[in-house]
Each structure stands twice: as C-alpha cells, then as structure tokens.
Amino acid sequence: MARVEINQVSKIFTDHTAVSDVSLTVNDGEFLVLLGPSGCGKSTLLRMIAGLELPTYGDIFIGDRKATRLQPKDRNIAMVFQNYALYPHLTVYENIAFPLRVRGADKKATDEKVRWAAELVGLTRMLKRKPRQMSGGERQRTALARSLVRDPDVFLLDEPLSNLDAKLRHSAREELRQFQDRVGVTSIYVTHDQVEAMGLGDRIVVMQAGSVRQIGTPEEIYLNPADTFVATFMGSPPMNLVVTGEVTLGFRPENFLPKASFAENIPVTNIALNIHRVEYLGGDRLLYGMVSGNLPETAVIARIPSSVHYSPILNTEVPFAVANSELRRFDTASGKAIVAEPMGTRRTANG
C-alpha cells in the first residue's frame, strides 16, 4: 500500500487542456473516487498516475518515490479497465496466474498466491471455469484477483462496472466495496455515476472541465456542495436552485415539503409551489412544479415519501417550505457556496 500525491498536475493536448493544475493526496489504504461528466479529465488524470500519459506540468508521487517519469511497469500499480481483458482461452486459475508466470515465479509460489487471491475475492470454486462461463461480476473479480497477486501499491480502476446491467452493477459494487475493506489497498476509482461514487468512495473528487471542484466525503459533498455545479451534479433529482438576485437559493428535493409537515418551532423559508405533474416511484413520489409567489418563477422538484399521505391539487398554488438548516446559498455570479460567518459577514466557500 502507498500514499499517492498529485502536485499541480496539468495535461495539455494540442487543441485543449484535459487536466488543469490538479493537486490532491490519496491516503494510504483509502478508496478515492474521481467523479465527473464525460470529458472532465478524470480518466486522463488516472492514466497519468498509471504512467500511460505524461503530465505536461506537475509531479506525481507514489509512496516515497517520484513517479512522474517512471514507466508503468516500474510504478507497482495495478489497473482494471472497463474491459477486464481476460484471456478467453484460459481458465480463471490461468488468468490469475498469468502475471506471476510472466515474472518467472516458481510453480508452488504461483499456486499459493493464486489460491490466496481467489479465496479473497470468492472465486475458489470457479478456478477451472473460463470467462465465457462467468457473470460480469465474476469476471470483474477475476480481473481484481489477477491484479492482486502482483502485490500492487495502488489499484487504479477506470469505470470497471460500466458494461454491466443495473442489477449486476449493484451487486458488483457491493462486492467491490467488500473487497476494498478486506484488502485495504490504496484505490483510485473513476466513474461518471454519482450513485457509484457515493456508495464506494471514502472521499470523492468532483471534476469538471479538467479542474477539481470539490473534495470531500460523500456526505460532505452532498449536504454542502462547494458550488452550483456540484449541487446539481450530485443527487438524483439534483438540488433545486432558485436565483433571487445576487444570491441563489439551493435545496434538495427531499427537504422541500408541504408547509404542514413542519413543526411550529422549526424555522423555515416558505416557498409557494404550483404542481404540474406527479411521478410515482414506489418508495417516493416526485412532484414537478414551478416556484411562484414572491420568488422568481423557477422549475423545481419535491420528493415526498409514498408513506406520507399527500394528495396535491394540480395547477394550484400550495404552501411548501424548506427548513432553514437545509437551505444553501450560492453567489449567483461565481456559483460558489456562501458560508455564513458568526458576525454575518458573507464569503464564498473558496474565499
């Protein structure tokens, strides 16, 4: 295991900047997720850590070594891609053993290592199977075991679940998190799926247009987004944003409730809502409508638990509210979160 430090790293291609002045530290044994939309630079950053791309500027350290210009084979990292790249003509045992045989490990040491890795990821009974006889999740575990036998300092995972269907992705995500908890190896995981990021990451790095927008735990990023991009990228449905002038109000759909839901002693901000459509999702109902009354007309969504009896009258203004503790404020011009000061001084999240 090793700590990874990325110090002011940029990657500039001929026609665009893919990564711009990124600095972050991945702690020893941490599962860090790089999250962002397609083209945000997360995979390019991962490839620079792997040595598949060279930074235009900046340095990368893996453990105590400066790895900026090291070849991939000299970094002691293991990488798992979208395509698990298993050899279809080889058994699970042979696939896992492949990197050891390439190194010239003796037969006994190879056998012990393969069986140790297979047991760790739950593949002991499948060692004689070939990839075509296995599920997507089992192939993922084979790729992980093959990487594990190399004793890597760092695991790099580039959207390894993206080729699985929704049901398999859920189970594979659970298996991946259990694997991380057992092995404890430093892991950096790339995804565009915020549900994956929230479920897997010890911390999340949210990226956009090559830059880091926020770093924090899933809870920190969800509850206190650093700017309006993070606020709307995290969460499904995303945070509601209502521009009131210099200040933009933000509130999560699950915190936007009928006024009658709040006890009298809870300070709230009243927001009138004109509901146009109701969407039933089993455990929840989504109410789509427009803010009206004394705020600018804005499309918003409220999430109401299905267990709560509420029958809205469509196309009629009804009283809704948000607890003040759940209301977030952003500077409209910059999009940055406004952090309340004890004396009432306004400042943004980044100064």
Which residue's structure tokens are 């199977």? 129
Share of residues in the chain with pLDDT > 90 (%): 58
pLDDT at 156 over 60: yes
In angstroms, the CA 302 to CA 320 distance is 9
pLDDT at 121 over 80: no
Which residues have a Cβ under 8 Å from the Cβ of 166 and sit 6 or more positions away? none
Contact 73, 150 (CB under 8 A): no
Contact 140, 84 (CB under 8 A): yes
In angstroms, the CA 7 to CA 320 distance is 47
In angstroms, the CA 278 to CA 273 distance is 13
In this prediction, residue 215 carries a pLDDT of: 97
| Predicted confidence (pLDDT) per residue in 58-97, tens digit | 999 999 899 999 998 899 888 887 666 788 899 999 999 9
Q: Model confidence at 41, in pLDDT bands (50, 70, 90)?
A: very high
In angstroms, the CA 240 to CA 143 distance is 40
Helix (H) or strand (E) holding 20: strand 17-26
Residue 250, beta-bridge partner list: 241, 328
In this prediction, residue 176 carries a pLDDT of: 77
In angstroms, the CA 155 to CA 189 distance is 8
CATH number of 237-348: 2.40.50.140
In this prediction, residue 100 carries a pLDDT of: 87
In this prediction, residue 83 carries a pLDDT of: 67
pLDDT at 20 over 70: yes
Q: For the chain, percent helix, then strand, then coil, each to nearest 5?
A: 30, 35, 35
Which residues have a Cβ under 8 Å from the Cβ of 238 and sit 6 or more positions away? 231, 232
CATH 3.40.50.300 residue spans of the chain: 4-223
Q: Model confidence at 207, in pLDDT bands (50, 70, 90)?
A: very high
Q: Model confidence at 119, in pLDDT bands (50, 70, 90)?
A: confident
Among 28-42, 110-124, 216-230, 268-282, which stretch is predicted with the lowest mean pLDDT?
110-124
Mean pLDDT of the chain: 88
| Predicted confidence (pLDDT) per residue in 300-350, tens digit | 999 999 888 888 889 988 999 999 999 999 999 999 999 865 444 445 555
CATH superfamily placement of domain 4-223: P-loop containing nucleotide triphosphate hydrolases (3.40.50.300)
pLDDT at 287 over 80: yes
Helix (H) or strand (E) holding 190: strand 186-191
Q: Model confidence at 175, in pLDDT bands (50, 70, 90)?
A: confident
CATH 2.40.50.140 residue spans of the chain: 237-348
